[in-house]
Structure 1
Amino acid sequence: MLTILDKYILKRYLVTFFVMILLFIPIGIMANLAEQISKMIDNEAPLNEILMYYGNFTLYIGSLLFPIFLFLSILFFTSKMASNTEIVAILSSGVSFGRFLRPYFIGASIIALLMFLMGMFIVPKASAGFNEFKFKYLKKGRQDRVTNNIFTQLNEHDFLYVSSFDPARQIGYNFTFERFDDNDQLDFKISAANIRWMEKDTLYRLTSYAKRRVRGETEIMETKRRLDTLFTFDISDLTPVSYVAETKNFFELNQFIEDQKQKGASNINAYLLVKYRRWALPVTAFILTIIAVAVSSIKRRGGMGLNLAFGIFVAFIFIFFDKVFGTLAEQAGFSPLLAVVIPNVMFGLTAFYLLQKAKR
């Protein structure tokens, strides 16, 4: 059962957190609008799409900054309590430091659950709208996917390759499709100068088509200048957008990763990194809560300003390590799980040290 102390601290915890979000998100929207409005006008972005973009922007950016908002809000109101000697009075009344932390852990649990549900089910849809608008109007003409040397394993038997892919024209060059039988022997191989998706006719068009069938010791060749045909894969299977993992909810992401593993996707680490980061967010909320309380519960000569400065420094260090290990996982083959775990372990140990120091 919550006591008066629990309700007091929990109320300040949640109110400060949500007020900080309400204060900073509009500032972020105005800064982004001032930077991008010329591109929106030049590319003739419709007003309704702009409004939808900023709705998605709010959810997308807010989810990324949730841990930082949480950290700074705790620093702010706890430093204020320390400056008003409220914490000294609470601890002097016989309340242990561990008992004092209880409402903070309750608040962290509420925020962690909110972050988890949003990250798994709400933010992915917002991410899709945010990125689609960005590449359609703000980064028009820039590629939003890998377009060179694309190799994909469609299933246990089928493999395809294109040397380059133009997503705007939906055409792939130097196309190769191979099918192997149950004994891993080549059944047939199709090659073409290019493959193009004909959306109007819902079929694929192959140029300079050649098909080689293997039947024992015999090879059967078939060639055509042009062939319209069907395949079981979608044109998007050639090269999904770079942010595709961010746009999938909990269930879709798990299935997508399994499919990509079967296909032998080269950028599987990027997808795993997104998955592990979603699971790590609630843990991060607790770690940052402990650090913030440990730092700001002590009354200092520098007052609230010193605590906030230290808090911003810690936040930037956390982001730095998160980005460094994330980049290593995506580009250097480093384990995505370790890339997520190591920063949390480092700051978890820091939180434990600062907590013991604060108790003394």
Structure 2
Amino acid sequence: MLSIIDKYILKRYLATFSVMLLLFIPIGIVIDVSEKINRMLENKVPFGKIALYYVDFVIYFANLLFPIFLFLSVIWFTSKLANNTEIIAILSSGISFTRFLRPYIIGATIVSLFSLIMGFFLVPKASEGFKSFRYMYLIGNGREEMRDNTDVYRQISDDEFIYVSNFNTLSQTAFNFTLEKFKGDQLEYKISANRIRWNAQQKVYELYGYTKRTVGPLDDQLESAEKKTMDFNFELEDLTPTIYIAETLTFFDLVDFIEKERKRGSGNINTYLVVLYKKYSIPVSAFILTIIAVAVSSMKRRGGMGMNLAVGILLAFAFVFFDKIFGVLAEKSSMPPLIAVWIPNVVFGILAIYLLRRAKR
């Protein structure tokens, strides 16, 4: 059973974290609107689509920044407890520091489970809507981002390769499509189209500006059509940019997709695995950051709450920095993705144990 003190701390834990999120959400929306309003007006984006975009925006960034929000909220209300000498009173009553931590761990468990469920099912859908809106209406928002999410070149079998310059998930259309079929080292035929669209009702692909060049021993045969319907042995997701598709698949779909890509011998497995492993590592970070926050802010300091917040912000951004750096290393180097994704949690877990021992003393 939870004691009165447990309920009091747990209520403050969850309430402060919720308020922190609710305070930053409108700030994030206002900043994004101020940056994107001109393009939205130019493209005459319907209000309904804008509203749905900002629902996805809130879910996407709340998940992305949740470790920072959680860390700062725990430091904030724990520092207030320390400044009001409430922690001294609790510990003086005979309650050990480890027992004092119990409501924090319960709160971290609740937040972690919520984050885990969101990461498995809700965040991928929000990520798909968020990115699709940007591609559809905010194309000019950063050329570097567009370069990272275009020019998909993929091997779909031992002797077949496909390429598209970019992909629109809303219309399920890819542009500048080519399919090359080889026989040994020799090109057998090449199919090209200005755009290719998936027809979900008929379960076929529609090619516009279609041409097919079949290589012959003496001369080539050319075939062309304004529109042609074809059935290919690749799926719609094969036309999607690497990181984009991984972020938009729910947990079980992502596991199946990774297995399929392994059998194909895909060179992008590490990128997919980083996304998969982060679905587990981010919820675990809630426990680590909670312990660090309590250890840092449970004692009165000469600088007061401001000093605790300064230390907290520094540690929070250090955690995010480590997380990003090792995520990139896993994608771009030979470092195993599982190790790279979990290194920030291991490093900060050791730091949490050290700070917790100091706080107990």
- Answer yes or no: same fold by TM over 0.5: yes
Q: Is the 8 A contact 1:151 1:159 kept in 2?
A: no
Question: How many angstroms does 1:143 deviate by?
Answer: 4.9
Match of 2:109 in 1: 109
8 Å CA contact 1:70–1:289 kept in 2: the answer is: yes
1:354 alignment partner in structure 2: 355
Query: Is residue 210 of structure 2 the alignment partner of residue 209 of structure 1?
Result: no
Equivalent position of 1:126 in the other structure? 126
Distance 1:2 1:52 in 2: 40
Q: Determine if contact 2:164/2:175 at 8 Å carries over to the other structure.
A: no
Question: TM-score, with normalisation over the residues of structure 1?
Answer: 0.87
1:110-158 Cα deviation digits (max 9, x unpaired) = 000011011111111111101111121122484563416x23134xxx4
Query: Distance in 2 between the 1:230 and 1:197 partners?
Result: 15
Partner of 1:268: 269
Q: Give, as a single letter, the amino acid of the residue that structure 1 aligns with 2:274.
A: L
Instruction: For residue 78 of structure 1, report the CA deviation from its aligned partner.
Output: 0.5
RMSD, matched Cα: 2.7
Q: Could you tell me how far 1:169 is from its partner in structure 2? A: 5.8
Residues 115 and 166 from structure 1, CA distance in 2 versus in 1: closer, same or farther, beyond 3 angstroms?
Answer: closer
Cα distance in 2 for residues equivalent to 1:235 and 1:16:
43
Gaps of 5+ in 1: 180-185, 213-218
Contact 1:170/1:235 (<8 A) preserved: no
Partners of 2:82 and 2:298 within 8 A in 1: yes
Alignment of 1:20-31 (within 5 A): 20-31=20-31
Q: Do residues 308 (structure 1) and 306 (structure 2) align?
A: no
CA contact (8 A) 2:156 2:162 kept: no
Q: Quick one: distance in 2 between partners of 1:166 and 1:64?
A: 25
Deviation sequence 1:210-250 (CA, Å, 0-9, x none): 268xxxxxx99984444865322245524446411111111
**Partner of 1:161 in structure 2?**
161
Sort the Cα spacing of 1:102 and 1:153 in 2 relative to 1 into closer, same or farther, 3 A: same
CA contact (8 A) 2:296 2:355 kept: yes
Asked whether the equivalents of residues 153 and 264 of structure 1 are also in contact (C-alpha less than 8 Å), the reply is no
- Give the length in aligned residue pairs: 343
Q: Counterparts in 2 of 1:9-88, with a 5 A limit?
A: 9-88=9-88
Query: Which one is further off, 258-267 or 280-289?
Result: 258-267
1:313 CA drift (Å): 0.3
Q: Does 1:172 align with 2:170?
A: no
Alignment of 1:152 with 2:155, yes or no, is yes
The verdict on how the C-alpha distance between 1:33 and 1:238 changes in structure 2, with shifts beyond 3 A counting, is closer
Question: AA paired with 1:170?
Answer: F
Q: 1:23 to 1:234 in 2, by over 3 A?
A: same
Q: Which amino acid aligns with 2:319?
A: F
TM-score (norm 2): 0.87
* 241-250 vs 54-63, greater mean Cα deviation: 241-250
The Cα offsets for residues 264-289 of structure 1, whole Å up to 9 and x where unpaired, read as 22222111111101111121000000
State, as a whole percentage, how many aligned pairs show the same letter: 49
Task: Identify the residue that residue 215 of structure 1 maps to in structure 2.
Answer: none
Q: Which amino acid aligns with 1:100?
A: F
Letter in 2 for 1:340: V
Alignment gaps of 5+ in structure 2: 168-172
Hey, what does 2:333 align to over in structure 1? Answer: 332
Match of 1:194 in 2: 192
1:191 deviates by: 2.1
Structure 1 residues 235-254: aligned runs within 5 Å: 236-240=237-241, 242-254=243-255
Amino acid at match of 2:255: N
For 1:299, the aligned partner's letter is K
SS in 2 for 1:14: helix
Q: Against the structure 1 CA distance between its residues 71 and 162, is the aligned structure 2 distance closer, same or farther, given a 3 Å change threshold?
A: same
Counterparts of 1:235 and 1:100 in 2: how far apart (Å)? 53
Query: What is the letter of the counterpart of residue 304 of structure 2?
Result: G
C-alpha contact (below 8 Å) 1:71/1:289 kept by paired residues: yes
The amino acid that maps onto 1:176 is E
User: Where in structure 2 are the equivalents of 1:223-234 lying within 5 Å?
Assistant: 223-226=221-224, 229-234=230-235
Q: In structure 1, what is the Cα distance between the partners aligned to 2:297 and 2:88?
A: 12
Distance in structure 2 (CA, Å) of the matches to 1:50 and 1:279: 31
Determine if contact 1:146/1:241 at 8 Å carries over to the other structure: no
